Amino acid sequence: MSTLKADTIQSTGGGAATLTKQSAAKAWVSFDGTAASAAARASFGISSMDDNGTGDYDVNLSSAMSDANYAVVVGQGRYNEGSYGGQYEISVATVATTSLQVFSNTTSATRQDYSYNAISFLGDLA
Amino acid sequence: MSEILVNKLTGTSTAGSILVTGEGNSTTTNLQQGLAKAWVAQLDGGAGAGDSFNFASFTDNGDNNTATFTNNMITNYTITVAADEPQPTAIDRFVGVFARSASSFKMKTFTSSGGVSSVPQCAAVHGDLA
């Protein structure tokens, strides 16, 4: 096996190198919505979190995206196993190049804090 | 265009850390941190997957599935999910993630009325490999 060792990869012109038919996430975060200030358990490319109130969060990016048309994918945990209302959803509220506002909702559309929330950002960096 | 043909990339300062220049040419991003470390498509109620990466096995637990990694993660990883609903008239399916550990996690699909659904699950995992 051949191995290329490098700390930074650029195109020959100094820009973004093409990874053949692949695209990496530019940021991701796993956070606890029930904790003070929506504490992140782990993250990449995230500068900070804002807790705007029950089920309402801002995720702030370390590096801006090129525009607000990037893709956001989410994940949520399971709440109160085995009983009605044991599911919830994360919805995208406001998309900006440097931040994302999300809501966590019960299925009756009531905002609620939950312990496991996951978000990944895919698209172009500015 | 110049092209490098190689089977493995390794950082010189830190083996598991390589920066790549972003699309706007004004910043860099960490290649390893951005890559999905595992994913599965169309994991159905019988724990059969349409396709997957870095999963050693899937187990049908009745009303949920266990996904077990080939290469373990550091525990606090990120799982994004989707319900793969093949019927356009059926809506409101939610995939919940629970029992996360370094080696596996579980997923359960709900209906909006709180019932269990067998609609296939999709998931992507980001974070640090152990």
Question: Could you report the average pLDDT of every consecutive run of 10 residues in chain A (126 residues)?
Answer: 84 80 88 90 96 96 94 80 58 94 84 90 93
Answer whether residue A1 is part of any domain. no
CATH of the domain at A85: 2.60.40
Answer whether residue A40 is part of any domain. yes
Across the interface, do B22 and A125 touch by the CB < 8 Å criterion?
yes
Rounded to a whole number of angstroms, the distance from the CA of B67 to the nearest CA of chain A is 15
The CA-to-CA distance between both ends of chain A, in Å, stands at: 35
Q: Model confidence over B47-104: pLDDT tens digits?
A: 889 899 999 999 999 989 999 999 999 989 999 998 876 665 556 678 889 899 999 9
Query: Can you tell me the mean pLDDT for B96-121?
Result: 86
Answer whether residue A105 is part of any domain. yes
Can you read off the two tokens belonging to residue B28?
A: 């860099």
| Concatenated DSSP letters of B40-58 | EEEE-TTS--SEEESEEEE
Strand partners, A9: B20
What integer pLDDT is reported at residue A61 of this predicted model?
98
Contacts of B2 in chain A (CB under 8 A): 12
Q: Would you say A10 and A17 are in contact if contact means Cβ atoms under 8 Å apart?
A: yes
Label residue B79 exposed, middle or buried (CB < 10 Å: 0-12, 13-18, 19+). Answer: buried
Q: Would you say B107 and B125 are in contact if contact means Cβ atoms under 8 Å apart?
A: no
What's the domain count of chain A?
A: 1
Answer whether residue A80 is part of any domain. yes
Q: Would you say B82 and B41 are in contact if contact means Cβ atoms under 8 Å apart?
A: no
Strand partners, B83: B121
Please give the single-letter amino acid code of residue B25. N
Q: Would you say B124 and B51 are in contact if contact means Cβ atoms under 8 Å apart?
A: no
Query: CA-CA distance, B16 to B23, in Å (whole number)?
Result: 22
Can you read off the two tokens belonging to residue A100?
A: 């994302």
Q: Which residue has the tokens 């993660």?
A: B73
- State CA A114 to chain mean position distance: 16
| Least confident window among B2-6, B8-12, B87-91, B117-121 | B87-91
Find the domain containing A51 and state its range.
27-122
Nearest to B12 among A5, A42, A126 (CB): A5
Answer whether residue A6 is part of any domain. no
pTM: 0.87
| Least confident window among A69-83, B9-23, B27-41 | A69-83
